[in-house]
Structure 1
Amino acid sequence: MRDQEPAPADAERRLTTKEAAELLGVKPETVYAYVSRGQLSSRRVPGGRGSTFDAEEVEALARRNRRDGGGNSASRGELSVRTRLTLIDGDRYYFRGVDAVELAARHTYEEVAEWLWTGRLRPGVTFTAPDTSVAAARRAVDALPEHTAPTDRLRVAAIAAASADPLRFDLSEEAVLGAARTLIPTLVAALPPVRFSHLDEGPLAHRLWARLSGREPDEASLRALDRALALLVDHDLAASTLAVRVAASARAHAYAAVSAGLGVLEGPLHGAASGLAHRLLLDVLDHGDPAPVIADELRAGRRIPGLGHRLYPGEDPRARALFELLEEIPRAAPALAAARDVVATTARHAPLHANVDLALAVLTASCGMPATAGETIFAVARTAGWIAHALEEYGEPPLRMRPSGLYVGPRPPQPLPE
C-alpha cells in the first residue's frame, strides 16, 4: 500500500518513500539517511502521509550509485587518503585499531592523544605549556574585542604560540610532538577564565572547565568533560582535518596546520553545530515541549541540529557514550530528557539518531556553560587529531593534496572584454 496517492500527471513526478527505496534498492530508512546527508530532498504534501521525493532526483542518485558500483567512495571521485589513525566501521570507530569509545572510557584525553600520535600509552601524562608560550598567547588574545568568538581566540592563540617557538619549522616527529604537547595547553590557558580556582592546574579537562563554567564542578562533571575531549580527538577526514592535511602537504608547520583546521571548524555544519543544538535544548526546556520548537525550526527551513550523521546508519557512538556518562549527573537530567524528547518527536517523521553535537549540548547546557562551549571543547580536543594527521602528511610526498579543477567555463579563445 502506498504512502499517498500519486501526483497529478501535469505536476512534477513525485515518489513515495517506498517507491524511492525500491528504485534505489535500499531500505526506507536509508532513503531518509540520503536526505540527512543532503543527497536527496523531500517534501510533505498537506493532507498526505509520509514524505515524497522528486522522481528525477531519485533516478539520478540511482544512476550514480549504479555507476559507482554501490557507492564506493573512490569510484565516486571523492578524495581518499591512506591513514593509520582512525577507522569508522558501522556504528563504531577505532583509533589505531582500538575501539575509541572503550579507549576514552579507560584513559584521559592526554593519554588518548598520545596513543593516536605514537601508538603508545603514557599513563598519567599531563600536557603543560612554557610560560613564554602562554604569555605570548594571552597578550594576543587579551587584545581582541570582548565579543570575540572562542574559535577566533584559539586561532589567534595558535599564531601567537608559533611566534614564540623558534623551532616551529622543524617538521621532524620529535619536534612536532614537542610542539603539540605545549600548544594544546597553551590554547586552553589563553582562553579567559570564567572563574579562578585550584582547577587551573592538573589534567587538561580541569583547566578547561575553569574557562567554560562558573560553577564548582563535581567529579562526574569533570569526568564527562574529559570523556568528551577523548571521544572527539579524531574522526577520520572531517573537513577541518582535510584542511590540516592540505596545509601539511605544503609543509606548513604544525601551528599553521592547526590554524587551518580552526578556520574550517568554525562553520555551522562542523564545530559550531553543537551551539545550535545547545540553543535548541534551552528552547525546549523553556517551552516544556519539543513539538513547537521543532515546528519553528522546520518552518524556518532549518534542519534540526544534533540529529543524524552521514557516517553512522545508527546512533553516533560518541553520543551514546557521552549520554551514558551524563546519566550519572543529576543536574543533567532535564537537558538529557529534553534531548531524548527531541529525538523521539523527530523520529515520527524521519528516523534520525542523536549525534555528538546533541550530547555536547546536554553537557554544556546542564553545566552552566555558554552555547559556544561545545565548539571550544571540539576545537581543543580535535587539535590532537590534527597534529596526528599533520605528522602522517609530513611523511608523504609534498604538495600531493593538489586536485585538478574540472573547467566548465567558456572555451578559449574568448575576445578581450571591452
Structure 2
Amino acid sequence: MTDREAAPAHEGEGGRISTRKAAELLGVKPETVYAYVSRGRLGSRSNPGGRGSTFDLKEVEALARRNRREPAMSSPTAGTLSVRTRITLIDKDRYYFRGVDATELAARHSYEEVAEWLWTGVLRPGATFTAPEASVSVARRAVDSLPEHTSPTDRLRVAAIAAAAADPLRFDLSEQSVLGTARTLIPTLVAALPPKRHDQRDDGPLAHRLWARLSGREASEASLRALDTALALLVDHDLAASTLAVRVAASARAHPYAAVSAGLGVLEGPLHGAASGLAHRMLLDVLDRGTAAPVIADELRAGRRVPGLGHRLYAGEDPRARALFALLEDIPEAAPALAAAHDVVATTARHVTLHANIDLALAVLTASSGMPASAGETIFAVARTAGWIAHTLEEYGEAPLRMRPSGHYVGERPPQPLPEQ
C-alpha cells in the first residue's frame, strides 16, 4: 500500500476520510483527487506523521453531487458544446486568466510568467524555460530533414513528435511531470526552428530566442517587449478549435506531446492559424499601393473577407489587438504598417463597423520587423502551446474519454441489401 493509499488511523473521526475513500466517493482515481486539490476544487490536510492526506467528508460529498448535477460536457443549446474550465473567461470585450485581467497580466509579466500563472495559479517572477540539449538535438535533426518549403507549423509538430520520442517519461501524466514537460517542450520547439541570425542564443527570455528565428534584423528593446507581450496575450483564448482538439486528446489520456501535436494539426487549418499571414500580406499590399481602398476592393471582389477584422466573441475591439497596438505605437519602424492597418479599419468602417482583431495587430508586428508572412502563425503556435498544456492538465483531472459525443446518423436505415459486385 502506497503512502497515498494508506488509510489514516483516525479515519472517520471529525468527518475526515482517506484519499482512497475520497476517490471511491468521487468515482475517480486517487491521482485525480490530488488534481482536484491542486486546482482548488477540494481541500486537504496532511496526516500526522506525513503519511498521505485526509479530506472533509462533507466537502467530498458536495463535490460529488456537483459533478453529477453539472455534466463536465453538455450541450445547452443545439450546436453548442460546453466544457467546464477554470482557465480563461471571455466577458464583455475583456478576457481573464484565472480571474485576472489577461491584458494587464501580459503588460506586467513575461510570457513565461503568464504561462506559469495559467498552469498553476502561482506567479513565478523571473521564470525562464530551458530545454535539455538532448531534446533540442533530436528535434533539430528531425526538423532539418524536412523540405525547405515546409510550413512553420509542420516544423513545430515534427519537433514535438521528435522530442516526445526522446522522452521516456512522456507517459507520466502526473501534474508535476506534465509541468516539467511543458517547461522544456516550449523552448525545444523554438530552438528547433531554423535561425535567421547566426548569433542567436538559446538562453534568456523566450521572446528573444524566438525573434532570432523570425527576423534577421537586430531587435530593439521595444520590439522584443512587443513580441513578448504578443506571446502572453495569445497564450489562451477559451475553447478555440485547436484547444478543443487538445482536450479531446487529453481526454483519451494522450501524453502532453501528443496533445500539443493535436492542437498544432488543427491550427494549420486556413480558418484558424493562417489568419495573421493573410493580414500580413494585405498590409504589404496596402503599403505598396499607398491606400487601403483598392486592396479591400480586391479582397471583396474575390469573395474573401477582409482579414484582421472582427471577432465572433467581441462586439467591440479585440482587447488583445488594443494592447498590442499600444506597444507598436512606441516603435518607429512600425509606423507605416500601423498607418496601413488604421487605413484598413477606417475604409471598411464606411459601410460596416468591424474592429481590428489580434491578427491585424500581429500582422503589423511581423510586417514591420522584417519577418515573413508565416511568422504570425509561428508566434501564435508557440504562445498557444502553454494554453494547450493548461487545458491538458485540466482535462487529466476529469473522467477519461468523456469527449465522446454520439453521432446523429442520417444515412440509409438498415437493413440494406449487400452491394452488388
Please indicate the TM-score interval, normalised by the length of the shorter structure.
0.7 to 0.9
Is 1:187 the equivalent of 2:189? yes
Is 1:246 the equivalent of 2:248? yes
CA gap 1:199/1:330 in 2 versus in 1, 3 angstroms = farther
1:201, CA displacement in angstroms? 2.4
Q: Distance in 2 between matches of 1:104 and 1:331?
A: 22
Q: Distance in 1 between matches of 2:232 and 2:75?
A: 28
Matched residue of 2:95: which SS? strand
1:73, CA displacement in angstroms? 7.3
- Where do 5+ consecutive residues of structure 2 fail to align? 1-73
> Residues 196-253 of structure 1: CA distance to partner in whole angstroms, max 9, x if unpaired?
2255421000000000000000000000000000000000000000000000000000
2:145 aligned partner = 143
| Aligned pairs for 1:14-413 within 5 A | 74-197=76-199, 199-413=201-415
Q: Residue type of the partner of 2:355?
A: H
Q: Distance in 1 between matches of 2:128 and 2:273?
A: 25
Contact kept? 1:88, 1:94, Cα under 8 Å: yes
1:92, CA displacement in angstroms? 0.2
CA gap 1:328/1:73 in 2 versus in 1, 3 angstroms = farther
Q: Distance in 2 between matches of 1:355 and 1:196?
A: 34
Q: Residue type of the partner of 1:394?
A: Y
Q: Distance in 2 between matches of 1:116 and 1:411?
A: 48
> Residues 311-333 of structure 1: CA distance to partner in whole angstroms, max 9, x if unpaired?
00000000000000000000100
> Residues 265-292 of structure 1: CA distance to partner in whole angstroms, max 9, x if unpaired?
0112111110000000000000001111
Q: Distance in 1 between matches of 2:239 and 2:280?
A: 25
Q: Distance in 1 between matches of 2:353 and 2:409?
A: 39
> Residues 14-45 of structure 1: CA distance to partner in whole angstroms, max 9, x if unpaired?
xxxxxxxxxxxxxxxxxxxxxxxxxxxxxxxx
1:19 aligned partner = none
- Where do 5+ consecutive residues of structure 1 fail to align? 1-71
1:46 aligned partner = none
Percent identity, aligned pairs only, is 86
1:76, CA displacement in angstroms? 3.0
> Residues 81-123 of structure 1: CA distance to partner in whole angstroms, max 9, x if unpaired?
0000000001100000000000000000000000000000000
Q: Distance in 1 between matches of 2:212 and 2:202?
A: 7
Matched residue of 2:322: which SS? helix
Q: Distance in 1 between matches of 2:119 and 2:348?
A: 39
Q: Structure 2 length normalisation: TM-score?
A: 0.81
Contact kept? 1:199, 1:209, Cα under 8 Å: no
Contact kept? 2:130, 2:203, Cα under 8 Å: no
Contact kept? 2:138, 2:163, Cα under 8 Å: yes
1:414, CA displacement in angstroms? 1.4
> Residues 363-387 of structure 1: CA distance to partner in whole angstroms, max 9, x if unpaired?
0000000000000000000000000
Structure 1 consecutive aligned stretches of length 4 or more whose deviation exceeds 3 Å: none
